[in-house]
């Protein structure tokens, strides 16, 4: 199963909270963050939320109800392209 990045967040807790909301829709998720191999737990900001590629469109649609924060391209967008272009 290939996972794709659907959003970036300011904190790991924020990403995990949103990820757990996806559980209600039976969308598996992974939260990725850089903690320098466990040496800098919670010291580095930022985390990303990843879901299976076949669930990405639904997950993005659900996240759109929450607000901005999704910096990954939508299924029908190419990187760097603004929606509607």
pLDDT digits (tens, 9 = 90+) for 14-36: 999 999 999 999 999 999 986 65
Q: Report the DSSP beta bridge partners of residue 41.
A: none
pLDDT at 75: 46
Give 43's contacts (C-beta < 8 A, 6+ positions apart). Answer: 35
Which tens digit of pLDDT belongs to each residue from 44-76? 668 899 999 999 999 999 998 875 554 544 444
Domains assigned to the chain: 3-64 (3.30.70)
**pLDDT > 50? residue 10:** yes
Number of Cβ within 10 Å of residue 77's Cβ equals 13
pLDDT at 42: 56
pTM: 0.68
């Amino acid at each position: 199963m290939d996972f794709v990045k659907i959003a970036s967040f300011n904190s790991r807790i924020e990403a995990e909270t949103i990820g757990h909301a996806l559980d209600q829709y039976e969308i598996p998720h992974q939260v990725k963050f850089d903690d320098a191999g466990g040496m800098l737990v919670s010291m580095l900001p930022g985390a990303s939320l990843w879901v299976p590629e076949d669930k990405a469109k639904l997950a993005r649609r659900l996240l759109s109800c929450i607000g901005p924060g999704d910096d990954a391209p939508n299924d029908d967008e190419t990187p760097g392209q603004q929606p509607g272009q």
